[in-house]
Every structure is written in C-alpha cells, then in structure tokens.
Structure 1
Amino acid sequence: MTARRPIRALPALLLAGLLALSGCAAEPQPAPPPEDAPPTEAVTAPTRVVAGVDDLGPGFNPHLRSDQSPVTTAIATMTLPSVFRPDAQGNLQLDRTIATDAKVTSQEPFTVSYELNVEAGWSSGAPIAAEDFVYLAQQMRSQPNTINAAGYREIADVRSRAAGKAVDVVFDRPYPHWKELFSGLLPAHLLKDAPGGWTAPFANGVPASGGPFRVMQVDRLRGEVLLARNDPYWDTPAVVDEIILRRTPAETLPTALESQGIDLALPDAGPEVARAVQAMASSPRPPTVQRAPRPDVEQLVLRTEDGPLADPRVREGIASTLDRAAIRQRVNPEAVPVDSFGAAPSDPGYVASAPDGAPARPDPATAAAAFTEAGYVRGDDGRWALGGRPLNVVVGAGAERTEDVEIAQVVAEQLRAGGIGATVIAPAAPDLLTSPSVAPTAPTSSATPEPGSGPAPADGGDPPEAPATTPPPATPTPTPAPGSSPTSSATPSTSPSSTPGGDGPVAVDVLVTSRPVVGAIGPRLVSDYGCPPSDLPDDLPGSSCFRALQPVLEQLLTGPADPGTIAEAERVLWTQLPALPLYQAQGLVISDPRTDAATRVTPGPLGTGPMTGAETWSEPAGSGESTETSAPGS
C-alpha cells in the first residue's frame, strides 16, 4: 500500500508551485530574527541630581552624636521614616505615609496611640511596625552617644496592636514633647539581633529604607554616596532615578558647577567657599547662594566627674584662659557665636544667657584667682601646679571630624600659653564618645581619615606630652569648692587614665563635640546636662550631674518652657561650667538657574535640611543624556 502524504504538507507544496510560476520576481526578504534574540532599543541614562558636600562623615546613624553631619541628615531625610516631620516653618506635621493618626488617648497613664499606614514597609519587604518603635525607644534609653534621648527615657512601655500596625506608647508622666519622638525609625528586624546592630550597619550605609530613596552604595575612596529610587516605596515614587552626594573640595566648586559635574553644592560657609562663589559671579550662570544654620552648636565639654576639672574652680580657670572668639575666628570665621547652653542663634527670639563676667576672652586675673583658690601655684616657668604636680589636661576630638580636631589644637595652644599643659588626642569619634578612657592617638597632620581606614597614625600633629621624669610628690587634697557637686570629687585623679603621655588609655578632660539644637529647649537641656540614667555609667564623656540643677531641668522636660525656669538653669550652668559653647556653623546651598528650575531647592527646615522634598525634584536641564545602544545581551 502506498503511503499517503500528510494533509498538513499540502499548503507548502501549493505555495512552492505558485512561487515557481511567478518567476520569483520579488526581492528576497531577510530572515526573521530568532525568537530569543533581545530587541535593539534606546537605553536612557538614569536621571539624577548630584549634590556636592564637604565630606561624607564618619557614619549614618542620625541618632548618634558621633555621626552628626549634613550628609547623615540628608540620608535620614530621604530614607528613614518619621511619624512627624517639620513643615517649611519648622512646625511638626503628621507624615501620613507612615502613620494615619497619632494622638494622646489617655492621661492616666499618659498614652500616645499611633495608627500606622498599613502599606508602609521597609525596602527589605518587612512592614514598618511596632517593633521599630520598641527598638528605637530601647536603644535611645540605654545607649551612650545619643542625641536628645531625654524624651525616650520618659517612656514606660511600648505596646503593639493590630498585628504590629498600631502602637501605644505609655509614659511615666505627661510628656508635652511627644511629637518630637520616633523620628528616623530604624529597621528593627535587621538590627535587633545583629552584633553591633546599633552602630556597625551604619558605618557605610543604611540597612533598609522606609522612604522614597534607598542607599545603594557608599564609596569612601571616591567620596560618593549613591541613592536610588526605592522601588518598593508605597507612596508617590521619586521623580529622578538617583541622588548622588559627592565630596567636592571648595577649590573645585566653580569647575564642578560650571561643567555640570554637580548640580548644587551644600558646603559649610567659609573663606574658601566665599572665594569660589566670587569666582563664579561673572559666569554665564551666576550661582544662587542661600544661607542656613547647621542644626548643632560646637562646644567644649569639660569633664566634671573626676580628674583636675572635677573642681569647678579649675573649670573656671580653664574657661578664663580660653579666647572663644579667637577659636571661632581661627577655625570657622563665618560661624555665629553662641552664648547659651540650651538655645542657639537659629532659635526664634534667641537671647544670649551669658552673665556679665562669663568666660569669653582671656581674663588672666580671673584665671589666676580661680586656680589659686583651688590650691594651685604658678611657678617660675609659668606653669600652674598643685603640690609640685603640673596641671595637665587632655583635649580630645574625633579623628573623622576635621573641624573638631582643628578646635582641639587651637584650644591646646591657648591653654599652653596660659601655663597649662595640654595634650591633643584624636581617636575614632565613636570611641571618644562612648568610652571613659581612650588610646592617646595623636591627630594626623594630613586630611581626615575616612572610617574603616584604621586609626589616625601616631606620627604627625603634636606628640603627647611626656610625663615627669621624676615621680611627682603626693597630690594634696585641695579645699572643696563652695557649692561643688556632692557627686564629684574635687581631688585630681592620679590614675594612669588621666596622665598624658605613655601608651596606656587616657581620660579626656576637654572634649570637642557638638550638641543638637533641634526641638524644644527642655529636652535639649536635660539630654545634655541632666544626670545620666542608672543603667548608663556616670563617667562617660560629656556626662555631668549637678543634683541642685535636676529639679529645674525636670520642670523644663515635662512642663512649659517658662523663661524664668530656663534662666535659672542657664545661671547654674554658667556657674558650674560643664561645657563652654563656641559657635553655630552656617551652611550654604549653592545652585544655578537650571538647578533652581528643576528642584526649587531651599535650605529646608533646620532638622531635615536641603534634601527635604528631593523626591519631587527633576533632573536639571543638560544633566542627563540618552544614548541608543543595544540592550544587554545583544
């Protein structure tokens, strides 16, 4: 039997016959591309805004004093969720992308209830939930080196409802400043069980985002932080694909702006930046320059718990030896002087609280009287000594914080000129602010090292002062200072930890650091000058405890900002001198017409800075380019 041709082959035979009859007059057609071949299409470069910054800072946890910097503020503003955010006038407003409601629901006990947005989540996929409130409250209550922790210490309990999407925060007593809490929430599910979770994950990034952008890369070698649009973000997505924060030295600002290497700059005001702006004034696109204060005040914290500065008369002598105006002029001449412990020039209605005769410029007569009353004698060599033992102090600043190190060196110069031995050390900022004693690491004479590059080398800068070659005589106990704190000893410590020189750890007597000036005055004063909680050591750097001051501070924490109460607190602080305020630095926002049209950038509220609203920015004209290339894999 002859096999029959399958029916499905007939159309092909008929088509072949028709082509033969037509003589194949048509042009040959190209073969279709394979089905798995990627198409050729135009690939558009990511849209982006590039902001120049002075440096990246040591880390990016917005709740750590050691990590404070404009870059940390910018990253927190763009990536971390906050229940309340400041509006253009600085008034706190509920952020409904995070919480749909937040209000006081009980007076006995005082309770604030939060209803969280059910769509709010971290870029890791976890929801923003009650555990994030619990984690932040616990860390702020128990960790050193934190910013404005006083309000969190008023919390008695944090309770979860509605599968974690509702939170009840119970306070020990009515707390009027509760809206300032739970700003910059952190991803508890990634941090709570991680070793060093409070600090380590923030050294080079932010573990997860709960905002319109997320940190994709921190390149400290190139000095760049890359933030990309957070695709899992549940609210209106960011307009641009990327935000880049790029380290831009002042001398390169004109070239960087004119070549469009950066779209705007966010430097500290200073002589070098002023010269750069002046150089751009005659360019085709003259810059727009907006000025804004930084959200912190530079200060010198004086060690009150032990060592030579435990005696308030010695603190007075030290303060009367220093020239605060000269320090500011040497280090940051564009800054605004500060003469208050709580308020800052950026506060509405700021008035200096320094009384007549408060330390401002060197007053040798006052210094001599204070040291003499404390039992010190000035020798023929001009050095102050107690029982033959020279007065030596250690001045410390974080190695990663260039300005702090510069201040420390100027302070040491002034102290030496006044007959006081001074040694400058610059260990890592987190160590300096969390340890009672630190390695006597000398400051580097070169540029500030970035975190992760190791400690500052011991060479360069001023070497630690060598201890006496002969054993000093026993230190006599000076007469206690009238009104001195009962919790502090007036006797200078003779332990190795307070002796300059050698390889052992030393305690810092004069600490150069900053204090935040965002939020209500009461929580600021209590956070900076109140007695530390019982679960924290009382000898941490920057801690002070004046029992007579505590009732005044308590009134400011839980009551209204009564001017008379604030004045009383300031009076005691100027008498006891746990710190010496210096100045408030001024920041700049430098842009040009094309950037202004695309971003409408402003200095922003004090607490959130110029990157506030960056999710609405578009790319400035001329910054992005589209190129037609083959898709990957072609």
Structure 2
Amino acid sequence: MSGCAALVLALVVALAACSNEPVAPPPPAPIPTPQPEPTRLVVGVGADDMGAGFNPHLLAHQSPVTTALATLVLPSVFRADADGTMHLDQTIATSAEVTATEPFTVSYELNLEASWSTNAPIAAEDFVYLWEQMRSQPGVADAAGYQLITEVRSRAGGKAVDVVFSHPYPAWQHLFSDLLPAHILKDAPGSWTGALTDGIPASGGPFRVTSVDRARGEVLLARNDLYWDTPTVLDELLLRRMGPQELAPALAAGDVDVALPEAEPDVRTALGGVQPAPKLQLSPEPIVTQLGMRADGGPLADARTRRGIAMLLDRDAIRAAVAPEALAADAFGLAPSQPGYASTEPPDTPVRHDPAAAAQLLASAGWSRDLTTGRWAVAGGPVSLVIGAANDRAEDVDVARVVAQQLDAAGIDVTLVGPSAVELFGQAAVPAVPPSPSPTPSPTAQSGGPAATPTQPAPAPTPPATTSATPATTTPALPPAPGGVQVDLMVLPRTVGGDPGTELASDYGCPAPTALVPDPPRPPTGFCFPALRPALDELLSATPRPETAGAVEQVLWAQLPFLPLFQPVNLVVSTPAADAVTGIGPGPLASGPLTGAPTWRVPAE
C-alpha cells in the first residue's frame, strides 16, 4: 500500500470513531441453565438406642447398632452366612489355611489392596493388636481362642500373617473378625474402650462412620470412598434413636425407611395405624441376657446360696415385665434362636421359682429367716445384696429393678447401683451410684412392686457364712473395695452365634497365668471352677466328645455362676417401598439385619 493510501485510510477510521452513530453491542452471554444439586442417596434406620459404645469385642458395648457398625465398617477375615457357615472374605484375605500342625499354625495372605480409610494398610499389626487386647483386657467376648495363640508373625511387609497356637484349634476361622485400626489405637492409653465410645476412628469396609451425635441420637455412615472393592450404592446411612411414638410418624413421613426396635406390644400398637402397613419380621439379637452371681466372695460365694437366690426369682415374670417377646433361655451354651437349642436345665433338680425349696437351700448355707419380719440374716446380721446394672444399658437396668422387687418381696435387703458397663463388667469394685430414674413402667412391669433404688451409697456386701465345699468352714471376709462397692448380682449379656465350644470356654472358664499374660483378667463375676477346666479345654480341641458340652452344662446348673434369662428379640420394620429396594430381613445372627446395606437403594417416593 502507498503512503498516500495509508493516510486516507487512517483518516476514515478516525472520522468513524468521532461519529455519533451507535455501535451495535455484542450479543448477551447465554444464561446458564440451573443445575439441580446432586441427590444424596440416604436411607434412614430407626433404632431403640445408640448403645454404650462401638467396640464389638466388649460385653459392655453389645447392641444392635454396634453389630451394624461392625458389619459395615470393620474388616473380618471370615464372615458367617445365615446358617452360621464361615466364608473367607476375599476383600480382606486372599487365602487363609492351616499350614503346619506342629505347632498348629494358620497362615493368612492379605489382600494387597485392603487398607484403612486413613490409607494405612490392613496388615499384620492389626492381627497383633486384637490378639494382645483379647488375651489381656477384662470384659471381652469370646476370648478363649485368642488365649490359645502363642505367636503372631508378620511376613511380606505385613501383608502375610502366621498365627501359631499352643494346640490344634478347629474353630480358628472365627478369629480375627472385626479387626480394629492398630495404627490409631495401639499407642493411645485407654483407647481399647475410649476411642470407640463415640465412633470408629477408621474404616476398613464399604461404609465409614462420619459422625455420632448422642444428644440427637444419630449415627451417620457415609460411603467409604477409599474402599477398594465394589462401592456402596447409597451415599449415606443414617441411624436414628426413636421410641415407639416417634417411629410410626417417621415411617409414615418417610423420615426413616427401616427400623430395628425391640419387639414389644407398644411398638406393634404404635405401628398399627401406619399406612401403607409396614412389613414386620422378628430378629433375635446375638446375645442372651443373664443374671451373674458373684462367686469369689461375698454372700453368694456358696453355690447353695446362688441356687437359693435363683429359686426365689420368677424368671418368666422378669421376662414378661421387661421383654415380653424375648425368647426364654434355659441353657448356658446355645441361644434359643439357634438350631439345636434345647433346655439343659436338669429335670430332677430344676432351678425354678420355688420359695420353699429356696428356703431350705439358704438355711443349709447358714442363712436364717426372722419369722416376724420375714427378712433373711446371716452371720448375725441382715443379708444385704448389691445388684448392679449398667446405667448405659437401659434394658439391663429394667431387669435389675424387677429382680430387686422380687428379692425384696422374698425378704432380702437389696441396693441397686448403676455404674457404666465398662466398669461393671471389667472391675471388681464399682462406683456406688444409683441408676438413672427409669421411664414410667408399663402396667405389666408395675405389677412387680416398687423399685428398690437407693438414696444412700450402697453398703459393702456381707461376707458369707460358709462355702459350698465345706459347710462348716467360713469364707474369709473380703477387704473393703477401694473407691467403690463389690456387686453380688449383675445383669449382663453373653454373646452367641460363634463357635459353641469357644463360647462356653470363654464365658465360664478362668484362664491360667502364662508367660505372656502372668495376671489374666478377672471374669465379670469372679467365677472360677478349676474342675471344669479339662472339659472346657476339650471343647477347644480338635476332638471333643459329644457328651462333653452336656456335662459342662450340668456342672454350671449345679454351680450357677449365672442364671440365664432370655434372648432379646427385635422387630425388623420396613415400609413397602424400602422392602422392595433393600430386601431387608433378620440377616445372619452374628451380623444382623443391616448385613446387605452396601447394595441397598433408596426407596422410591
């Protein structure tokens, strides 16, 4: 272009810039279409109570919520199906087998992808931690198998484990269920109970615990995004505490989709008006509620006094007042809901409500009854029994109140104490605090008479007059319990659904000191009957005789360290919409109704 032409062009552009002609604005930007927020796939689950804590290996923490969390959050090498058969969970271990017989050794090859939600691997240290706690901590469930382990060896950088036993143990597949995150818990003092009181600090399963709000009664589970296997369909699973009067409107409004209340008449009544009618199924809990009697000292050290106390009690009335739809229990091993269960109570010397027979037994043990007042005395003073029930286990407290009413009516002074479950099941002496006031009892419960709650700290138990072995020999008085009182009777659960021989040995054995555990923990009631040890050891061996379990049951009925009461039963409640997408049912006894929750979908509205 020539210089002249360029000058002309520049003038034209300048004149156009000075013109008053409007310049067309650019077209407006398109308005973005509002995007809906992602739908959170949440299923609400109603429950009676949140429980005292979430360590599935502690008697103190046994509850339907703890069972659910353990099933969905914690890793297990083997899992039981509906008939109790154990199956290897290959998301955790690719193989587990007996690799040597001398010494008996089980080798585990762990899934290389299996890890905690903290990114720490699920590894040999988790096996070691659980073994160490189960052999040494008080108040644990099903410890006998772990007590047979002499060594846990790590291989392959912790992704292979060799477990060595003192002798062959055929029920080894029941071990190392509900592993706990050792990398978080092993060095924290008190973490065995404290760290799992208000949650589970890491997940090794398809869900993780994101929050526990005890004031609101809510536990929120969310999908574990670091889970290495098939992810859950649901984003969240919300467990909510609610009573019968709250449950019916919550189901009708869709605030909860399924519920696991205790099977009680008032629950059925409250649900009667819900439309469409929910589906109801019975789901026995994996525990049996029992009354423990202190056997290592105090007024009940003599087996005759324990039997006498049992015959003063009306177990059917206790169950009717507290858990009318529970299953009556008359055995120390299998629970009423398990295949093969039958009453083992001796027909010739039954432990049934029989005040006359009870009076004869108590008199033979040195007790006497004032014919004017009807009150019992021993060693020159009134008999006074301390009854303990964990204040954080509401149904146990209800049982204790009815027991106290019946014993008071039979002429025995009683005092109720309500320590925490961890204290009651793990300590020889507990704080002398009364249980919290109970809600207004049902008309059935009121028939038992007034509750015997103390207004003063509980007195120290009266030492017994005689022992069961030699009636003429006095039992030495125990020293006062420092910082608390010693409990004569306690309400506590025993776990069921595992290996029957292991459960009998765990519940009624007393482990001998070893080099690894020179001071083994005291059983909750202090019961130790050395004559039972050979039979209990046989039940843990490879070749127990068929009659051995029955013989153990007969000794237990004679010694009566515990009085079986009932197996609690829950209702599985589901709306028709929830039933269609969850298929919820009672589930395996050990893992419960929420076993299939990883595949649940959200009910259609």
Code of the residue aligned with 1:376 in structure 2: it is W
Alignment of 1:271-350 (within 5 A): 271-280=265-274, 283=275, 285-350=276-341
Q: Which runs of 5+ in 2 are unaligned?
A: 1-9, 441-450
Change (3 A) 1:208 1:460: farther
Change (3 A) 1:465 1:137: closer
CA contact (8 A) 2:319 2:566 kept: yes
Code of the residue aligned with 1:296 in structure 2: it is I
Alignment counterpart, residue 394 of structure 1, candidates 386, 400, 404: 386
Secondary structure, aligned partner of 2:547: helix
For 2:311 and 2:456, how far apart are their aligned partners in 1? 24
For 1:569 and 1:135, how far apart are their aligned partners in 2? 32
The alpha-carbon deviation at position 490 of structure 1 amounts to 5.5
For 2:307 and 2:522, how far apart are their aligned partners in 1? 21
Change (3 A) 1:198 1:291: same
Deviates more, 1:371-380 or 1:190-199: 371-380
Alignment of 1:54-133 (within 5 A): 54-133=48-127
Q: Deviations over 1:571-605 (max 9, x none)?
A: 10000001000001111110022101211111110
The alpha-carbon deviation at position 19 of structure 1 amounts to 11
The alpha-carbon deviation at position 117 of structure 1 amounts to 0.4
The alpha-carbon deviation at position 90 of structure 1 amounts to 2.5
Q: Deviations over 1:516-546 (max 9, x none)?
A: 0121211011101001342446655233111
Tell me the TM-score normalized by structure 1.
0.86
Change (3 A) 1:401 1:32: same
1:497 aligns with 2:481: yes
Change (3 A) 1:25 1:201: same
Q: Which runs of 5+ in 1 are unaligned?
A: 1-11, 449-458, 499-503, 623-634
For 2:390 and 2:224, how far apart are their aligned partners in 1? 33
Secondary structure, aligned partner of 2:229: coil
Change (3 A) 1:197 1:447: farther
Secondary structure, aligned partner of 1:497: coil
Matched residue, 1:233 = 227
The alpha-carbon deviation at position 483 of structure 1 amounts to 7.4
Matched residue, 1:516 = 495
Secondary structure, aligned partner of 1:526: helix
CA contact (8 A) 1:508 1:541 kept: no
Change (3 A) 1:465 1:118: closer
Q: Deviations over 1:204-236 (max 9, x none)?
A: 100100001100000111100001000111111
Alignment counterpart, residue 423 of structure 1, candidates 410, 415, 418: 415
Tell me the TM-score normalized by structure 2.
0.90
CA contact (8 A) 2:82 2:589 kept: no
Matched residue, 1:46 = 40
CA contact (8 A) 1:529 1:543 kept: no
Alignment counterpart, residue 356 of structure 2, candidates 325, 340, 365: 365
Aligned length: 579
1:204 aligns with 2:190: no
Secondary structure, aligned partner of 1:595: helix
Secondary structure, aligned partner of 2:564: strand
Pairwise CA RMSD of aligned residues? 2.8
Q: Deviations over 1:393-449 (max 9, x none)?
A: 11001001111001111111111111211111101111111110011111111469x
For 2:474 and 2:456, how far apart are their aligned partners in 1? 25
For 2:167 and 2:459, how far apart are their aligned partners in 1? 51
Matched residue, 2:151 = 157
Code of the residue aligned with 1:481 in structure 2: it is S
Change (3 A) 1:19 1:492: farther
Q: Deviations over 1:442-475 (max 9, x none)?
A: 1111469xxxxxxxxxx9944358769xxx9x97
1:168 aligns with 2:167: no
Matched residue, 2:485 = 506
CA contact (8 A) 2:301 2:467 kept: no
For 1:14 and 1:275, how far apart are their aligned partners in 2? 93
Alignment counterpart, residue 581 of structure 1, candidates 557, 564, 574: 564
The alpha-carbon deviation at position 40 of structure 1 amounts to 5.8
For 1:520 and 1:540, how far apart are their aligned partners in 2? 20
CA contact (8 A) 1:159 1:169 kept: yes
Code of the residue aligned with 2:468 in structure 1: it is A
Secondary structure, aligned partner of 1:613: helix
CA contact (8 A) 1:442 1:460 kept: no
Alignment of 1:473-552 (within 5 A): 478-482=465-469, 491=475, 493=477, 495-497=479-481, 505-534=484-513, 535=517, 536=519, 539-552=522-535
Change (3 A) 1:466 1:557: closer
Q: Deviations over 1:584-634 (max 9, x none)?
A: 111111002210121111111001111112111111112xxxxxxxxxxxx
Matched residue, 1:219 = 213
Alignment counterpart, residue 259 of structure 2, candidates 252, 257, 265: 265
For 1:13 and 1:57, how far apart are their aligned partners in 2? 88
Change (3 A) 1:350 1:19: farther
Alignment of 1:393-472 (within 5 A): 393-446=385-438, 461-464=453-456
CA contact (8 A) 2:210 2:220 kept: yes
For 2:366 and 2:551, how far apart are their aligned partners in 1? 29
- Percent identity, aligned pairs only? 53
